[in-house]
Amino acid sequence: MNVYDSARMSDVLRPLGYQPVDLPDSADMIILNTCHIRDKAAEKVFSELGRLRKIKEARKENGEQTIIAVAGCVAQAEGQEILTRAPYVDIVLGPQTYHRLPEMVARAARAGGAVIDTEFPAEQKFDFLPDTAAPQTPGNYTAFLTIQEGCDKFCSFCVVPYTRGAESSRSVASVLAEAQRMADSGVREICLLGQNVNAYHGEGPDGQVWTLARLAATLADIPGILRIRYMTSHPRDMDDSLITAHRDLPALMPFLHLPVQAGSDRILQAMNRGHTADDYRDIVRRLREVRPDLALSSDFIVGHPGETDEDFEATMQLVRDVRFALAYSFKYSQRPGTPAAGAPFQVPEDVKDARLQALQALLREQQDAFNDTLVGQTIPVLFTGEGRKPGQITGRSPWLQPVHVSGPRHLIGQELPVRITERLTNSLGGILVEETVYA
């Protein structure tokens, strides 16, 4: 979502004459678009700001002005503290206010002082963004598209409800219009984004509330859009219509990121997840019944306050039962202001380290095993760019793995059959079966 937001900030600044540059040393404006979900996020921002201060001072000596802005969730969470600790910052803006960035730039230049805007405005920011894809240039065949923001779940470990606000969905018309612009610019695969993307409930042109399943079905009808993905989902919002969509929509890729976080019901309750481990297993069973080739990705947190050896073993058993093609796993870290931060029975760091290593070893084993099953198969690959080696092109499988083959550049942007010949460390290698486009 930060990639998408950064692109839209570039959109709103373009009418002011700004365009992206590769290095901060040559930038008239530097925006740190931040995420608060990982450990020590704020400290990393302040460390980076210290480096940017030197760039700003060096440019000032040459008579050049540099605007430094901090955007995103760290900006939302820290607010005035950023200006207190880094008074050379010119703008602090939350993730719900970047449509007002041109106004902030003007205010900062006019007043000569810092501007802070971390409100949750009543208006939908998407209604005030330029009517451009985000932004698409020739050669971009995949794109992110935010359709939902915020979270009402209030998991004990998570800051998202406090930094992104309550769940809200874009209108269907707005989403379809942006998707059409993307398709017109050459995009072939769209990934729909949201903190709880499957909680999507946008107003449709018929006056009805549309679900993610209905939206995906309509997006699949846009000429040129070959593939649709969505992330990140919550098990509580995995309804029957969305499960059925995985059966009925060929464009909906057979790969689903569905975070579970833990396999112990006691810890899931402490996390305020609102589902049990068996609830999760049942969702997976139903998905695989309608789409047998569906592969799963997930998120896991080890060492949540109060987690015992038995609780951790329940997580390991869930992983063995479900089997994941990909997963992200982390040690629990305290997020200020969240319920778990002050909870008793914090797990020692050395215990969290050991558990994380054991979990990651199992997840890596499952990822390699899944990739091994594709060796010898012929699968569709959407080619998106040149590879690292001469004469090589690269793309993505339906299950999101990078795939490398020898092939001419003119095939980039097409979806072609590839016979997988090897499983590499984090990708697959193969050969083109024929230069016949799927669609």
Annotated binding site for [4Fe-4S] cluster: 151, 155, 158
**Short-list 286, 284, 285, 266, CA closest to 276:** 266
Q: Which residues contact 20 (CB under 8 A, 6 or more apart)?
A: 10
Structure tokens at 437: 């486009």
| Residue 227, SS3 per DSSP | strand
From edge to edge, which strands make up the β-sheet containing 91-93?
29-34, 67-72, 91-93, 115-117
90-117 exposure pattern, b = at least 16 Cβ within 10 A, e = fewer? bbbbbbbbbbbbeebbebbeeeeebbbb
**Short-list 406, 345, 352, 347, CA closest to 381:** 406
Q: For residue 274, what are the CA distances in angstroms to 260, 267, 271, 278, 308?
A: 11, 11, 8, 12, 20
Q: Contacts from 432-438 at CB under 8 Å and sequence distance 24+?
A: 432/405, 432/406, 432/407, 433/378, 435/411, 438/226, 438/380, 438/414
